[in-house]
Amino acid sequence: MLSQERTDEISNASGGRMSVARGGYFKIGWVILLVSAGLGLVFATLLAIAPNSILPAHSFRVGDAPLAIRTWGVTWIAFSLIALVLLLIPFRRGERWAWVSLWPLPLLWLSHFALKPNTVHNLVIGVVTAVGLGLAFRAFFPKST
Of 44-48, 76-80, 131-135, 141-145, minimum mean pLDDT range: 141-145
More confident: 138 or 55: 138
Number of Cα atoms under 13 Å in the Cβ half of residue 63: 0
Average pLDDT, the chain: 81
What pLDDT sits at residue 61? 53
Instruction: Give the model's confidence band at 69: pLDDT under 50 very low, under 70 low, under 90 confident, else very high.
Output: confident
Any residues with CB less than 8 A from the CB of 69 and at least 6 apart, and which? 47, 50, 55, 56, 59, 60
Mean pLDDT of 60-89: 83
Whether 75 shows a pLDDT value over 80: the answer reads yes
Mean pLDDT of 58-65: 57
How far is Cα of residue 64 from the mean position of the Cα atoms in its chain?
29
Domain ranges of the chain: 19-140
Number of Cα atoms under 13 Å in the Cβ half of residue 7: 5
What pLDDT sits at residue 1? 41
